[in-house]
Structure 1
Amino acid sequence: MKKIGFSGTLDPITNGHMWVIGEARSIAEEVVVFLSENSTKQPKFSAEERRAIVLESCAERQWDNVQVVIVKSDYTARVARKHGLDYLIRGIRTTADFDYENLIQQTNVEVIGGAKTLFVMPPRDLGSVSSSFVKALEGPVGWNWTMKKFVPGPAYRSWILDWLHKEWLSLWPAGDDAAAANAQAWFARMTGADAYGGAERHYHNLDHLVHGLAEIRAWSANTRPDKRDIDIVRAAFWFHDAVYAHGAADGVSNEEASARLWLGSGLAADAAMADEVAQLIRATDHFQGGAVSHPLKDIMLGVDLAILGQDEEVYGHYARGIRAEYGHFPDEHYNSQRGQVLAHLRSKAEQRQLYVDRWFADQYNDAAIVNMTRELALLGS
């Protein structure tokens, strides 16, 4: 078969969709993805954005025989025929899917004279994966790690950037055009290659941002602190690892450099908030933190260390990310240094001193001990 089509809204495209496209590639020389621009739906991404995500997802797998056509105000099966395609391919996950797709197939062929449909059944691990399923994951602590398992990389990155963008804009009060432009410019900078979006950011990256901000959401929802305190912690978390290098440069720690970056951003609503956020960032600095106090320091540290108390799979992501960030060290040196850090942190957890704030201690202390003990064993410590 020369060509076959695959259709859908693909908001977002999932690994289930990618599997169907892969099956289509196995039976045809070329695959045309017909992307529906359905006016009755309210997708997260525009048709052009979804088209780009699909193409990037295919390129990531080196599938160069896939093209994407946006369908506007027409039947996909009829558009497929106009493009010279006799067949579409669809995945069937359940009997409900079959009943629905069978009705669509009859309409496509008998009513509008469009392309016929071939049906394939996905493997068991993709049987429940749909765009609706993926959308429902967003929000709770760790949602990003779960979503990551079900969508291709470009779709995941686009989704979390959209989520982060909303989080970012909600921090800054509505102002004039110059303030809005400044906020947008700083978002691009913070999520770009020179900060959390950098290729060498294996742990202190966009995932880290999403996880920490979700932790702040959970903390604030359950403890109901003052809104200003919430915003100070959120702003400090955005900036606390904005500058991240191995070792201090010119005697300036990463945290101090990040605090200075924040102060130069012009994002704060007032001078008092600017100073408080900078002070909170400095309070988490290993070099000067002991000498810098802030009433929200325990919250900030709880958010940052919450990763230690996640489930085994998420902790594994974290541990591998830390190893990758220190990939320039040989195993023997890394294992020794990492082992010392973990032993110190585990000791604090055993003494109930790792999470000073009770909310984080109750959530994560015991699991953190288990996780660090397991990693220490793997390190041979």
Structure 2
Amino acid sequence: MKKIGFSGTLDPITNGHMWVINEARSMADEVVVFLSENSAKKPKFTAEERKSIIALSCAEQGWNNVQVVIVRGDYTARAARKHGAEYLIRGIRTTADFDYENLIQQTNVDVLQGAKTIFVMPPRDLGSVSSSFVKALEGPIGWNWIMKKFVPGPAYHAWVLGWLRNEWELLWDYAQADESAINHADAWFARLTGATAYGGTARHYHNLDHLVHGLSEIRAWAANTKPSALDIEIVKQAFWFHDAEYEHARDAGAPSNEEASAQLWLGSHLGQEMDPAAALIRATDHFQEASIEHPLKAVLLSVDLAILGQDDEVYQNYARAIRQEYAHLPDDEYRRQRTGALGHLCRKAEAHKLFCDPYFAAQYNDRAIDNMEREMARLAGE
């Protein structure tokens, strides 16, 4: 078969969609993804954005025989015939899917004189994966780690950036801000999520995932403890910047990562009052925190350490990311340093001094001890 089509809204494209596209590749020389632009739907991404995400996702797999076409004002089956695809491929997950798709395929052929349909059944682990399923994951703590399992990398990156963008716009009240303030905030969002900060390729842990997880923790803390709007704002401001500057080793006499991040925040001129968040950023520096008092210090430190108390799968992802972050260390040296750091944190948790905020202590202290003890045991056995 020379050419086969695959159609959908694909908002976002999932690993299930990718499986169907790959099945099509095994049947035809060329695959055309027909991306529907349905005015009745309100997709998260524009058609052009979805086209780019799909193209990047296929390129990431090394698939150079996949083309993406946006369909506007036409039936997909008819558009497929116009592009030389005699067949469309569709994934069938349930009997309900089959009944629906069979009706569509009859309409495509008998009414529209369009492309015929080939049905394929995805493997069991992808049987429940759909765009609507993925969208429903967004929100609660850990949603990003779960979503990551079900979508290709470019789709995940785009979704996370969109989520972070929404958080950023709420923080700086874009709805009420003037054009100059919005442009200024836009530039800082691009800087913080870009290659020189959390979006950098060398950032394996202190990255966009870290931002999303921490902001989700702050959202849950705020919902459960009802702090003032000002306190929430200060914690969010500090968290956005507290790891913006990150280097493994700094020259003698150079400021710490946290101090450099505090200076970056002060230089951003984003807020009306900059000092409270700057002091809070400095309070996350273990060289300075003992001497810095701040009413929200326990909260921000707990947000930063909350990853230690997550379920096993998330914790394992975190542990692997930390190893990648310190890839410059030989295995023996890494095991020594990591075991020492975990032992210190574990002792603090056992003394109930790791999560000094009561909300986070109740959520994570016991699980953090279990996670760290298991990792130390694993490191000792390597």
TM-score class, shorter:
over 0.9
1:259 has 2:262 as partner: yes
Shift of 1:251: 2.5
Distance 1:341 1:218 in 2: 27
RMSD: 0.8
Q: Which residue matches 2:83?
A: 83
Contact conserved, 1:247 with 1:253, CA < 8 A, in 2? no
Shift of 1:252: 0.3
Secondary structure, counterpart of 1:264 in structure 2: helix
Q: Which residue matches 2:223?
A: 221
Distance 1:196 1:312 in 2: 24
Q: Which residue matches 1:187?
A: 189
Distance 1:238 1:248 in 2: 21
Secondary structure, counterpart of 2:268 in structure 1: coil
CA deviations 1:294-347 (Å, max 9, x no partner) are 000000011000000000100011111111111000010010011001001011
Distance 1:196 1:327 in 2: 18
Q: Which residue matches 2:209?
A: 207
**Aligned 1:107-126 pairs, distance under 5 A:** 107-126=107-126
Distance 1:124 1:151 in 2: 16
Q: Which residue matches 1:34?
A: 34
**Aligned 1:1-381 pairs, distance under 5 A:** 1-173=1-173, 174-249=176-251, 250-268=253-271, 270-271=272-273, 274-380=274-380
Secondary structure, counterpart of 1:380 in structure 2: helix
CA deviations 1:180-211 (Å, max 9, x no partner) are 10100000000000000001000000000000
Shift of 1:287: 1.6
Shift of 1:288: 1.4
CA deviations 1:135-186 (Å, max 9, x no partner) are 0000000000000000000000000000000001111133221111010000
Shift of 1:292: 1.1
Return structure 1 stretches of 4+ with deviation > 3 angstroms: none
Secondary structure, counterpart of 2:355 in structure 1: coil
Contact conserved, 1:87 with 1:117, CA < 8 A, in 2? yes
Shift of 1:286: 1.3
Q: Which ranges in structure 2 are unaligned for 5 or more consecutive residues?
A: none
Shift of 1:352: 1.3
Contact conserved, 1:12 with 1:155, CA < 8 A, in 2? yes
Distance 1:247 1:150 in 2: 36
CA deviations 1:207-227 (Å, max 9, x no partner) are 000000000000000001001
Distance 1:159 1:251 in 2: 36
Secondary structure, counterpart of 1:137 in structure 2: coil
Give the residue type in structure 1 aligned to 2:178: D
% identical aligned pairs: 70
Distance 1:97 1:244 in 2: 49
Aligned length: 378
Distance 2:157 2:245 in 1: 21
Contact conserved, 1:9 with 1:36, CA < 8 A, in 2? yes
Distance 2:254 2:109 in 1: 72
Distance 1:287 1:370 in 2: 27
Secondary structure, counterpart of 2:5 in structure 1: strand
Secondary structure, counterpart of 1:322 in structure 2: helix
Secondary structure, counterpart of 1:139 in structure 2: coil
Shift of 1:289: 1.4
Give the residue type in structure 2 aligned to 1:179: A
Give the residue type in structure 2 aligned to 1:216: I
CA deviations 1:44-63 (Å, max 9, x no partner) are 00000000000000000000
Distance 2:171 2:373 in 1: 38
